[in-house]
Amino acid sequence: MNSDSVNLTPAQRLHFDIYGFVLLENVLSTDEIERMKNALYRIKADEQLEGQRVYVRPNGEHHVLFGNLVEYDPALLNYAAHPKLVPLVEEVVGGTVRLEETEAIINSRNQDVELDQLFERKYNPTGFHRGTQHGWGTYIEQNKFHCIFVKTLAYLTDVGPDDGGTCLIPGSHRLTWNQHEMIEAALSDDKLIHQVEASAGSVLLFGESLIHSTTAIRSEKERVILVAGYTPPMVREWPGNEVNPEFIETLPEEIRPLISGSDSWHWKRRY
3 state SS of 6: coil
pLDDT digits (tens, 9 = 90+) for 205-243: 999 999 999 999 999 999 999 999 999 999 999 999 999
Q: Report the amino acid identity of residue 218.
A: R
CB atoms within 10 A of CB 167: 22
> What pLDDT, on a 0 to 100 scale, did the predictor assign at position 266?
74
pLDDT digits (tens, 9 = 90+) for 142-158: 999 999 999 999 999 99
> What pLDDT, on a 0 to 100 scale, did the predictor assign at position 48?
84
pLDDT digits (tens, 9 = 90+) for 112-130: 999 999 999 999 999 999 9
CA-to-CA distance for 260 and 256, rounded, in angstroms? 6
Measure the CA angle with vertex 107, ends 33 and 205; round to 5°.
Answer: 55
Give me the phi and psi of 136, to 5 degrees please. Answer: -130, -5
> What pLDDT, on a 0 to 100 scale, did the predictor assign at position 51?
80
CA-to-CA distance for 237 and 154, rounded, in angstroms? 20
CA-to-CA distance for 101 and 104, rounded, in angstroms? 10
CA nearest to 88, candidates 11, 150, 26, 134: 150
110: which residues sit within 8 A by CB, 6+ positions away?
Answer: 60, 62, 63, 216, 217
- Assign 4 a pLDDT band (cuts: 50, 70, 90): very low
Length of the chain: 271
CA-to-CA distance for 237 and 242, rounded, in angstroms? 6
> What pLDDT, on a 0 to 100 scale, did the predictor assign at position 264?
79
Residues 231/92, Cβ–Cβ less than 8 Å: no
Question: What is the Cα Rg of the chain in Å?
Answer: 18
pLDDT digits (tens, 9 = 90+) for 49-101: 878 899 999 999 999 999 999 999 999 999 999 999 999 999 999 999 999 99
Give all domains of the chain, ordered by start, each with its CATH number. 10-260 (2.60.120.620)
> What pLDDT, on a 0 to 100 scale, did the predictor assign at position 5?
47
Percent of the chain with pLDDT over 90: 92
Burial of 111 (0-12, 13-18, 19+ CB in 10 A): exposed
Q: Does the pLDDT value for residue 3 go beyond 80?
A: no
> What pLDDT, on a 0 to 100 scale, did the predictor assign at position 227?
98
Percent of the chain with pLDDT over 70: 98
> What pLDDT, on a 0 to 100 scale, did the predictor assign at position 268?
78
pLDDT digits (tens, 9 = 90+) for 7-34: 999 999 999 999 999 999 999 999 999 9
Cα–Cα distances in angstroms (integers) from residue 115 to residues 7, 120, 189, 217, 220, in the given order: 42, 9, 21, 10, 11
